[in-house]
Amino acid sequence: MAQKSQPLQTTCCIAGGGPAGMMLGYLLARAGVEVVVLEKHRDFFRDFRGDTIHPSTLELMNRLHLLDELLALPHQQLRQITAHFGGRTVHIADFSRLRTHSKFIAFMPQWDFLNFLERKAKQIPTFHLHMESQATDLIWDAGRVVGVIATTPAGQVEVRADLVVGADGRGSTVRQSAGLEVIDTGAPIDVLWFRLTKHPDDPPQAFGFVGAGQFMVLINRDEYWQCAYVIRKGAFEAKQQAGLDAFRDEIARCVPFLKGRTDEIRQWDQVKLLTVKVDHLRRWHRPGLLCIGDAAQAMSPVGGVGINLAIQDAVATARILAPRLLHHNLRSSDLQRVQTRRQFPARLTQRVQVFLHRHLLEPIFDSPTLIPPPLPMKLAEHCPPLRRLLANLIGVGIRPEYIPPKFPL
């Protein structure tokens, strides 16, 4: 039976070591705040995270003087986004004229990015990361959250803190334990996630592929393609019943250059079902508790912007709360300031994602034949300023956060 250890005391306990939690932990520690990050997994090496680091995040890394070191890690640079409708290639977004230091999206396996943040954070004495430590419940005192109960390899641990942050993603335990109301927008899609070998003569910057009733994104990970095959929500079971051969044919129909290697998918357990959710919390906080990232607003993969928003939440949280946490005088109104600052960009982005679910993805699935590129894409194809605008929306987003010069650097 698990044993109960001595309570840990810290200033900020963050549940979840994803992009939001690790970035917040790093920034608060850099500002001198005592931080404990609890991550339920043993390492960051998981395949279902999304690999994009957007220009606005690269900008923040530059302000933190971490960019050169980060970009020394293996990555690919995506300078424009293209979609392939059958044989027709449409250029949708062009990052080359962004007013940011890095004019590209960096594709880097997310475990590399999180390991990088971990290495940097661990150099700061006030940062403490506990892996294999799963937040299971909150500790309350007189209507205020005063800590977290976590299951760790050493048994059950209580972490007491001035502030608990739920950065534990779309299935957040913290937000559930806090009884925060979740507004579920719903998403009509799920994603099948698998890899196929990459050949030297494959297109270098393959990205979105539209087929008849099909949509697939290919992420270049050097030796292999990380494939994200978008399906109607709930359609995976029917695909499994139709059999692997039918599935392999379907993939080859959507992206013809993959034909001949689809038999690398030998069994269904090589194909992971990633459930897509779009939701948000009406209120992100309780006294002593704040949710950020997907725990506050779960993002669809459409546009590949969720990681970026999670990091922006972390930056706003650190900027607004670090001075308060340092002086142990955090107020509920400070937590509301974080929500006020960040909910607008998240909600607006979700609205765009839901619009694209309805007006791009559903028409693709509804059509037995290949649809032509939708009007905004056709316009973007012929209008460079529109391509730049779309690049700005995707790469920088709405209300990007900044690191002020007086933030500890």
By the rule CB under 6 A, 294 interacts with ligand FAD: yes
Phi, psi for 173 (deg, rounded to 5): -75, -35
Contact between 149 and 139 (Cβ < 8 Å): yes
Binding footprint of ligand FAD, residue count (CB under 6 A): 36
Which residue's CB is nearer to ligand FAD, number 107 or number 247?
107
Q: Which two tokens stand for residue 380?
A: 């973007």
Min dist CB 9 to ligand FAD, Å, is 19
The Cα-based distances of 7 to 105, 127, 329, 369 in angstroms read 42, 17, 22, 61
By the rule CB under 6 A, 158 interacts with ligand FAD: no
Which residue's CB is nearer to ligand FAD, number 353 or number 381?
353
Window contacting ligand FAD (CB under 6 A); options: 18-26, 315-323, 332-340, 344-352? 18-26
Window contacting ligand FAD (CB under 6 A); options: 34-42, 154-162, 199-207, 374-382? 34-42
* 28, 31, 34, 52: residue in contact with ligand FAD (rule CB under 6 A): 52
Which residue's CB is nearer to ligand FAD, number 139 or number 191?
191
Which helix (H) or strand (E) element contains residue 370? none
By the rule CB under 6 A, 55 interacts with ligand FAD: no
Q: How far apart are CA 358 and CA 202, in angstroms?
A: 31
Q: How far apart are CA 155 and CA 391, in angstroms?
A: 48
Q: Is the dihedral of CA 63, 68, 72, 76 positive or negative?
A: positive
Task: Give the three-state DSSP class for 217.
Answer: strand
Which helix (H) or strand (E) element contains residue 323? helix 306-326
* 27, 29, 30, 39: residue in contact with ligand FAD (rule CB under 6 A): 39
Smallest CA-to-CA distance from 28 within 292, 389, 279, 317 is with 317
Contact between 300 and 27 (Cβ < 8 Å): no
By the rule CB under 6 A, 331 interacts with ligand FAD: no
Window contacting ligand FAD (CB under 6 A); options: 81-89, 153-161, 264-272, 287-295? 287-295
By the rule CB under 6 A, 19 interacts with ligand FAD: yes
Which residue's CB is nearer to ligand FAD, number 16 or number 288?
16
By the rule CB under 6 A, 17 interacts with ligand FAD: yes
Where do we find the tokens 């800590």?
147
For the chain, give me the number of helices (H) and strands (E)?
12, 21
By the rule CB under 6 A, 305 interacts with ligand FAD: yes
Q: How far apart are CA 296 and CA 315, in angstroms?
A: 15
By the rule CB under 6 A, 18 interacts with ligand FAD: yes
Min dist CB 190 to ligand FAD, Å, is 8
By the rule CB under 6 A, 16 interacts with ligand FAD: yes
Beta bridge partners of 13: 36, 164
Q: How far apart are CA 193 and CA 229, in angstroms?
A: 6
By the rule CB under 6 A, 293 interacts with ligand FAD: yes
Mask for 114-153, x = binds ligand FAD (CB under 6 A): --------------------xx------------------
Angle at 20 between CA 208 and CA 151, to 5 degrees: 115
By the rule CB under 6 A, 334 interacts with ligand FAD: no
Q: Name the DSSP letter for residue 44.
A: S
Q: CB burial class (10 A; 0-12, 13-18, 19+) of residue 20?
A: buried
* 12, 38, 83, 281: residue in contact with ligand FAD (rule CB under 6 A): 38
Window 160-199: residues binding ligand FAD (CB under 6 A): 167-170, 173, 191
Residues engaged in binding ligand FAD (CB under 6 A) = 15-21, 38-41, 49-52, 134-135, 167-170, 173, 191, 274, 276, 293-295, 299, 301, 304-308, 310
